[in-house]
Structure 1
C-alpha cells in the first residue's frame, strides 16, 4: 500500500511547465463542434464530432516532428472512425457485441497500433442512443478527428523546425550538465546517475528527431556529423570522469584539479551557449582554460622526468589532457555547426515508409479480453444506458501490472467523481448546455495542458471529458452523477479482480532471461575491447545499455506485482553495470597498447569469461564456476607499469624524452589503463556476485 500511495503522490508532481497553448488548441477543437451543434439544433452530431476529436488526440505526441505527428493523428482518426462505425454496426446485436468488444480489447493489447482510443470509440458508439446510422456516425467522427488534426498541426509551415531545434538544445544542455558534473567530487552517485540518464535520453531523442526529417543529402550529412559529435562528447566526458577519479587517488599534487574543473566548466558554458543561441563567443575562453590545464600537465610531466613526481600519474594526466582536447574540439565543432545552421525547405512533412508491425507478448491481451467480455455481459443484463461507464472503466484501468491497475482505478474513480459532480453543479446553478460547454472547455484546456507535465492532473481533468461528451445530449442530474460514480467504482473493482487473479506474477518468469542477457551483452562488450575495434565497442556499448535498461524495467514491473519486491542485490546490479560500461568507455579512449601491451588482453578475456560463466549459470540455474585469479593478473599489470616506468626514465636520461619509442607507447597505454582495468575488474566481479544464483 505504501508503494501505491507513493506512486499516486508522484503522479501529481508537475515535472515541467504546462503546455497552455496546446491545451487551448485542444479545447477549441472540442468546444467548437459542441457550440455549433447546440446553435444549429444538431446536438448529437456536434457531440459526436467533439468526441471524435477528443479520442483522436490520444494519438498525438506534441514533441515529435510535424510529419510524424500528422501520421499518428491521421492513423488515430482512421482507427477511431472505424471503431465508431463498428460500435454502431453491432448495436442491434447485444450478445454478439459482447464477443466483438472482448476481441477488439484483446487485439488492442496485442497490437499497440489499435490504441485504447479506438476501443473506447467502439464502446461509446455501441452504448450511445441510436440517432445516426453507422456511415453517418463514422462521418461525423472522422470530421472531428480531421478538425483536431488541422488545429494541432496547422502552424506546421511556420514551426516545422521547432521539434528539431528543441531536441538539439535539450541534448546539448544535458551534455553540458554532465560535463560540469565531471568536476564535482561532492556530487552524489544518485545525482550523477540522473545527469547521465538525462544525457543519454536527450541524445537518443535528438537522434530520433533527426531521423524523422526529410532534408537534402548535404544537410543530412551535417546533422549526422552533429549527432556523432554529441555522442563523442558524451563518451569522452564519461571517460574523463573515470580517469579524473583515478588521478585524484594518486600521490601527485592536486593543484591540477582546479584548472581541469575550470576547463570543463568553461567547455560546458560554451556548449550550452552554442546550442541555445547559436553563438560561439564562449569558445575562446574555453580554449584558453584548456591551454592553462595543458601547461600544468606539461609541468608535471617534466617534473616526473626529473624524478619529482610519479611517472605513471603524469602519464594518466596526459591521457586526461587528450580527453579534454577531444571534448574541446567537439564543442568547437558544435558551435560552428550551430552558427551555420541547417536549412530545410518548406516541403511537405516526411511520412516515412510502412513500418513492421509490433506485437506485444505475455498474458495481458487475453486477460483484458476476458475482463471486457465479462463486463459487457454483466451490463447487458442490467439494461442501463450508463452501463458504458462500467465497461469503459475496465478498458482504461486494467493494465499489465497490478500496481498500475490500482493507480488507474483510483485516478479514474476520482476523475469521474469530479466530472459528474461538476457537471451536476453547473447545471443546477445555471441550467443550459452553453454553461456545460464552458465547463467542458475548461476541463479540456486544463487536462491537455497538464498532459505532458502531470499524469495525475491529466487524468483528473480528462476523465470527465469522455463522460460529458458521450452524454452531452442526455439529462445530467445528481442521480445520473451518482450512478456514474458507482458504475465506475464497480468497473474498477472488476479490473482489480482480474489483475489480481489472472497471471499476476508473469514478470518473474522473464527475470532470469533478462539477467542472462545483460551479462552476455556486457561480456561481449568487454571482449570487443580486446579486439580493438572502436565501431564494435560503440555498438556493443549501446546494446549493453539497452540490455541493462530491459533488466531494470523487469525489476520495476516485478515491484508492481502483488506482493512483488525486486531483491535489493538485483537493484544494486544496475548501477554496477553502468559503472562497468563507464570503465569500458575510459579504456576505449586510450591509445592502442602496441607491442608493450602487457596483460591487458588477458584481463579483458578473464573478465568476459567470468560474466559469460555467470550468465550460463543463471540460464541453467546451476552454481557458477569458480572465479579466475584476477587479482594476480592485476598485480602483474602493476609490475608491468613499474618496469615500463623505469625503462622510460632511462630513455629520458639518455635524451629520448620527446621521441615516440615503443616503451613510451607502452606506458602511455598501461599507466592510463591500469586504474580503468582495476575498476572494470572490480565492477565485473561485483556484478557477477550480485546476479550469480544463490545456493
Structure 2
C-alpha cells in the first residue's frame, strides 16, 4: 500500500513545465470540429471528427523531430480509421464475432505498440455507437480529424523545424557537462553516479536519432553529424577519468594535483554546458590555463618518481590522467567550435525513417488483455447498452503488465471518470447546451495535453472525461448517465484487477533467468572486444551490454510490482557491478595499447570473459557454483608484474642519466620498456576492476547466491 501511495504521489508531481501552447493547440484541433458541428446542426459528424483528432493525438510526440512526429501521427490516423470501420462492420454481425474481433484487436494493440490504445478505443467506441452514420461517413469523419491534426503539426514545421534538434543538442551537452563535473571530482557513490551516466547515454542516443530524422547535405562543412562523435569522445574519456582518478588518489602521492585537476575539469564542464546552451564558450581559455597548471604539477610528480621519491606506477597513472584531460579538452574545443557554427539544416522536407524491425511486446500480457476484453465484451454485448462501452474500455486501458500498475491505473481512471461525468452534468445543469459543453471539453483538452508530458496523473484525470464526452457528445448527459458511467468504470476496473491477479500474476519472475544470462553474455562480449581494441566495436558492444542490463532492471522493477513480489537485493547489486565493469572497460580502452605478447592484459581479459560466460551458462542450467579458473591467480600477478617493470624502468633511467644527450633529456626517450610500463601501470586499475566486478557478478547471479 505504501508503494502504491508513493506511485500515485509521483503521478501528480510535475516533472517539468506544462506545455500550455501545445495544450491550446490540441484544444483547438478537438473543439473546432465540435463547434462547426453544433453550428451546422451535425452533432454526430462533428463529434466523430473531434474524436478522430483526439485519438490521433495519442500518437503524437511533442518536442520530437517532425519526421518522427508526422510518421507516428499518420500511423495512428490509419489505425484509428480502420478501427472505426471494423467496429462499425462487426456491429451489424453476430455478437460472438464482435466479441472475438474486439478481443483480438485489444491483444494486437498490446503486442504491437504502434497500434496501442487508439486502435482499441476506436473499435470499441464504434461498435457501441448509436446508429445514424454509415460506415464510409464514419470512417471519413474519423480520418478527417486525424488529418487535421497532421496538418496543424506540419504547419509549424517551417519555423520550428530545427527546435527539436537544438533541444537534443542542448540536452546532450548538459548531460555530458554534469557527468564530466561528477567524474573529475570527488568520487560519487554508485547510486548518484549511475543516473548521471544513464542520462548521458540516453541523451547521446536521442541526439543521434534526432539527426537521423533530418536530411543533411554531405557537402555541408558545418554538418552537425560530427557533434555526436565528439560528445561520445567526451563521454568515454570521462568514464576513464573517474576510474583512473580513484586509483591515483589511493596511491597516495599528495593532494595538490587533485585540487588542480578538479579546477581543470570543472572549467571543462562549464565550457561544454555553455557551448551547448549558448552556441559557443568563453570558458575555454580558463580551462586551458587550469590544464596547464595541472600539467606542470604532473611533470613535478614524474620528476620526483624518476628520482625515487614517489612510486613510479602512481606517476604513470597521473600522466595518463593528464593525457585523458588533454583529449577531453580537444573534444570540448571541437564542441564549442561546432556549436558556434550553428546547428543548421537546409529547408528540406522532414525525413521519415522506417524502424529497422517492428517493436513488439512479448510475454503473457497481450494474451491476458485479449482474454479480459473478450470476457468484458461477453458480459456487456448481450445487453448492448450504449454506456456498456465504458466497462469494456476500462478493462482494455486499465490492465497493465504489473499488478500494482493496474491498481494505479484503475484508481486514476475511476477518479477521472467521476470528475468528468459529474462535471459535465453540472455544466449542462447550470448552462444547458452543446456550446457550453464544447467550452468545457476545450478546457479539459487544454489542461490534459499541456500536463501530459510532466504529470501522468493529471493527464489521466483530464483525458478520461475527454473520451467520455466526445463519444457521447450527441446524447443527453444527465445525472443518471453520470452514475451509469461511474458504475460501469468501477466494475470494469474490478474485472481488470481480477485478471491481473489471477492470470500470470508472477510472470516476470520467469523472465529473470534469461535476462540475467543475457546481461552476463553481453558483458563477456564487451570484455573480449577489448582484446582487439577497436573503438567502434567496443562502443557498440558497450551500448549493447548497457541495454541488456537495462532490460534486467526493467524486469526487476516489474517484479517489485507483482502481488507479494520483491526483486532480490543481490540482483539489484549485480546491476551496479555490471555498470562498474563497463566503466572499467572504457578506462582500459583509453590507456596506451600493450606491445604484442607483452604482459598479462590479454590473459586477464580472456579469463574475465570466460568467467562471465560460465556464469551465464550456470544461470541457464541452474547449476550450483561456477567451475574454477585461474582468474584470481592472474589478478594477483598483475601487481607483481607492474612492480617488476617499474624496478627495471628505474634501473634504465639510472643508466640513461649517465649518458650525455645533447638533444634533450634522455629519460624522455621512448624505449620498449617505457612503453610496457606506461601500459601496465595505467591498465592495472582497470584490469583489477574488471576482474573484481566479474567475481562479484558471479557471486551475485549464480543460482546458489540467489
**Where do 1:69-468 residues align within 5 Å?**
69-93=69-93, 95=95, 96-185=97-186, 187-219=188-220, 222-353=223-354, 356-468=357-469
Output one character per residue of 1:419-445: Cα deviation in whole Å (capped at 9) or x when no partner: 111111212222222221121111111
Deviates more, 1:666-675 or 1:104-113: 104-113
Q: What SS class does the counterpart of residue 505 from structure 1 fall into?
A: coil
Whether the 8 Å contact between 1:596 and 1:666 is mirrored in structure 2 is no
* 1:556 equivalent in structure 2: 557
Change (3 A) 1:91 1:396: same
Question: Following the alignment from structure 1 to structure 2, what is the Cα–Cα distance between the partners of residues 691 and 440?
Answer: 53
Whether the 8 Å contact between 1:219 and 1:343 is mirrored in structure 2 is no
* 2:595 equivalent in structure 1: 594
Cα shift at 1:47 = 1.1
* 2:39 equivalent in structure 1: 39
Question: Following the alignment from structure 1 to structure 2, what is the Cα–Cα distance between the partners of residues 339 and 195?
Answer: 26
Deviates more, 1:549-558 or 1:446-455: 549-558
Question: Following the alignment from structure 1 to structure 2, what is the Cα–Cα distance between the partners of residues 39 and 342?
Answer: 47
1:694 aligns with 2:704: yes
Question: Following the alignment from structure 2 to structure 1, what is the Cα–Cα distance between the partners of residues 167 and 616?
Answer: 41
Q: What SS class does the counterpart of residue 565 from structure 1 fall into?
A: coil
Q: What SS class does the counterpart of residue 566 from structure 1 fall into?
A: coil
**Where do 1:649-668 residues align within 5 Å?**
649-653=650-654, 654-655=656-657, 656-668=666-678
* 1:55 equivalent in structure 2: 55
1:675 aligns with 2:685: yes
Whether the 8 Å contact between 1:393 and 1:412 is mirrored in structure 2 is yes
Change (3 A) 1:348 1:596: closer
Question: Following the alignment from structure 1 to structure 2, what is the Cα–Cα distance between the partners of residues 88 and 631?
Answer: 69
Output one character per residue of 1:347-397: Cα deviation in whole Å (capped at 9) or x when no partner: 211123475433332222222122111111211223321111001101111
Instruction: Output the TM-score relative to the length of structure 2.
Output: 0.96
Q: What SS class does the counterpart of residue 465 from structure 1 fall into?
A: helix
Q: What SS class does the counterpart of residue 382 from structure 1 fall into?
A: coil
Whether the 8 Å contact between 1:56 and 1:77 is mirrored in structure 2 is yes
Cα shift at 1:280 = 3.0
Deviates more, 1:645-654 or 1:11-20: 645-654
Question: Following the alignment from structure 2 to structure 1, what is the Cα–Cα distance between the partners of residues 125 and 119?
Answer: 10
* 2:476 equivalent in structure 1: 475
Question: Following the alignment from structure 1 to structure 2, what is the Cα–Cα distance between the partners of residues 643 and 355?
Answer: 52
Whether the 8 Å contact between 2:128 and 2:385 is mirrored in structure 1 is no
Output one character per residue of 1:160-183: Cα deviation in whole Å (capped at 9) or x when no partner: 111111111100100000001123
Whether the 8 Å contact between 2:106 and 2:120 is mirrored in structure 1 is yes
Question: Following the alignment from structure 1 to structure 2, what is the Cα–Cα distance between the partners of residues 344 and 643?
Answer: 57
Cα shift at 1:215 = 1.6
Whether the 8 Å contact between 2:33 and 2:46 is mirrored in structure 1 is yes
Question: Following the alignment from structure 2 to structure 1, what is the Cα–Cα distance between the partners of residues 369 and 150?
Answer: 30
Cα shift at 1:206 = 0.6
Question: Following the alignment from structure 1 to structure 2, what is the Cα–Cα distance between the partners of residues 358 and 253?
Answer: 54
Whether the 8 Å contact between 1:372 and 1:394 is mirrored in structure 2 is yes
Cα shift at 1:53 = 0.5
Question: Following the alignment from structure 2 to structure 1, what is the Cα–Cα distance between the partners of residues 642 and 263?
Answer: 30
Question: Following the alignment from structure 1 to structure 2, what is the Cα–Cα distance between the partners of residues 219 and 440?
Answer: 48
Question: Following the alignment from structure 1 to structure 2, what is the Cα–Cα distance between the partners of residues 294 and 186?
Answer: 21
Whether the 8 Å contact between 1:595 and 1:666 is mirrored in structure 2 is no
Question: Following the alignment from structure 1 to structure 2, what is the Cα–Cα distance between the partners of residues 624 and 222?
Answer: 53
Q: What SS class does the counterpart of residue 93 from structure 1 fall into?
A: coil
* 2:660 equivalent in structure 1: none
Cα shift at 1:626 = 4.0
Cα shift at 1:50 = 0.8
Q: What SS class does the counterpart of residue 125 from structure 1 fall into?
A: helix
Cα shift at 1:100 = 1.6
Change (3 A) 1:295 1:382: same
1:518 aligns with 2:516: no
Deviates more, 1:458-467 or 1:678-687: 678-687
Cα shift at 1:186 = 6.3
In structure 1, the gaps of 5 or more residues are: none
Output one character per residue of 1:453-474: Cα deviation in whole Å (capped at 9) or x when no partner: 0111111111110001111111
Question: Following the alignment from structure 1 to structure 2, what is the Cα–Cα distance between the partners of residues 230 and 627?
Answer: 41
* 1:22 equivalent in structure 2: 22
CA RMSD of aligned residues (A): 1.7
Question: Following the alignment from structure 2 to structure 1, what is the Cα–Cα distance between the partners of residues 342 and 149?
Answer: 32
Q: What SS class does the counterpart of residue 504 from structure 1 fall into?
A: coil
* 1:508 equivalent in structure 2: 509
Question: Following the alignment from structure 2 to structure 1, what is the Cα–Cα distance between the partners of residues 220 and 515?
Answer: 40
Whether the 8 Å contact between 1:577 and 1:683 is mirrored in structure 2 is yes
Question: Following the alignment from structure 2 to structure 1, what is the Cα–Cα distance between the partners of residues 295 and 517?
Answer: 44
* 1:6 equivalent in structure 2: 6
Deviates more, 1:315-324 or 1:586-595: 586-595
Question: Following the alignment from structure 1 to structure 2, what is the Cα–Cα distance between the partners of residues 343 and 311?
Answer: 49
Change (3 A) 1:288 1:630: same
Question: Following the alignment from structure 2 to structure 1, what is the Cα–Cα distance between the partners of residues 187 and 637?
Answer: 33
Question: Following the alignment from structure 2 to structure 1, what is the Cα–Cα distance between the partners of residues 78 and 387?
Answer: 26
Instruction: Output the TM-score relative to the length of structure 1.
Output: 0.97
In structure 2, the gaps of 5 or more residues are: 658-665
Output one character per residue of 1:600-650: Cα deviation in whole Å (capped at 9) or x when no partner: 222222222211111111111112334435443233221221222122222
Output one character per residue of 1:95-122: Cα deviation in whole Å (capped at 9) or x when no partner: 0222221121122222222221021011
* 2:495 equivalent in structure 1: 494
Q: What SS class does the counterpart of residue 279 from structure 1 fall into?
A: coil
Question: Following the alignment from structure 2 to structure 1, what is the Cα–Cα distance between the partners of residues 693 and 164?
Answer: 39
Change (3 A) 1:186 1:587: closer
Cα shift at 1:343 = 3.0
Cα shift at 1:596 = 7.8
Whether the 8 Å contact between 2:212 and 2:353 is mirrored in structure 1 is no
Whether the 8 Å contact between 1:23 and 1:449 is mirrored in structure 2 is yes
Whether the 8 Å contact between 1:120 and 1:392 is mirrored in structure 2 is yes
Number of equivalenced pairs: 695
Output one character per residue of 1:403-425: Cα deviation in whole Å (capped at 9) or x when no partner: 22111111111110111111112
Change (3 A) 1:143 1:355: farther
Q: What SS class does the counterpart of residue 494 from structure 2 fall into?
A: helix
Question: Following the alignment from structure 1 to structure 2, what is the Cα–Cα distance between the partners of residues 197 and 111?
Answer: 27
Question: Following the alignment from structure 2 to structure 1, what is the Cα–Cα distance between the partners of residues 407 and 39?
Answer: 42
Whether the 8 Å contact between 2:240 and 2:583 is mirrored in structure 1 is yes
